Amino acid sequence: MLPILKTERLILRERTMRDLEFCIEMDRDKEVVRYVDGPWDDEINHRAFVTKRIKNVYPKGMGYWMIETKDQEIIGWMLLIPVDAIGPEIEIGWRLKQEYWGSGYATEAAKPLVQHAFETTGIEEIVADIHPSNKSSIHVAEKIGLTFERLQYEESGIFHRYSINQEQHKTKEKSHASI
């Protein structure tokens, strides 16, 4: 069971099978999945992919969280899982319905997830592989403390690997506290 995480405007709760249709619908928006390789155009494989990710057993304190507004409107999800659900690196990721882009929701939801990763689960490092053209996600990664590490070569193309480790997180937290 994942902890419920709260921010000023949002509630992050564990993703369950009742969220399947929302996830499928959100992925049908070509702009939402523009930079993410997946079975989005194949209804059967898409449904199987999302179902598998929902039912998968992740390491303690890791998984998918649905992002809801305080009035319980679902706007997207966050993940903290082994990269490609395999690992060994731990990735952070997000996906929001297009109508909620540009409102700071991804950054707001990601901050407590980073804190949870380092302070509750003891994860040593978090990574995010982001398509170089996905400027919005790069901006979110930087705002939550991740920095460009290297080019990441994957089957579906070249991505930018962003990362933050526990020590960097502690340093950033101390510098924010002293402001």
Q: pLDDT, tens digit, for every residue of 141-158?
A: 999 999 999 998 877 788
Q: Residues 95-104: what's their mean pLDDT?
A: 96
- The pLDDT score that the predictor gives to residue 146 is 96
Where residue 9 falls among pLDDT bands split at 50, 70, 90? very high
Q: How far apart are CA 23 and CA 75, in angstroms?
A: 10
- Cβ atoms within 10 Å, residue 89: 16
Q: How far apart are CA 163 and CA 179, in angstroms?
A: 24
CATH architecture classification, 5-177: 3-Layer(aba) Sandwich (3.40)
Residue 112's identity, in one-letter code, is P
The secondary element (H helix, E strand) that includes residue 3 is none
Task: Say whether pLDDT at 171 is over 90.
Answer: no
Q: Residues 69-97: what's their mean pLDDT?
A: 93
- The pLDDT score that the predictor gives to residue 170 is 82
Task: Say whether pLDDT at 179 is over 60.
Answer: no
Q: What angle do CA 10, 13, 14 make, to 5 degrees?
A: 155
pTM of the full structure: 0.92
Q: What is the CA radius of gyration of the chain?
A: 16
- The pLDDT score that the predictor gives to residue 175 is 65
Q: How far apart are CA 7 and CA 112, in angstroms?
A: 8
Q: Could you tell me the residue ranges of all domains in the chain?
A: 5-177
Task: Say whether pLDDT at 15 is over 90.
Answer: yes
Q: Residues 80-101: what's their mean pLDDT?
A: 93
Q: What angle do CA 169, 172, 174 make, to 5 degrees?
A: 110
Could you report the per-residue pLDDT of 29-72, keeping only the tens digit for each?
A: 999 999 998 999 999 999 999 999 999 999 999 999 999 999 99
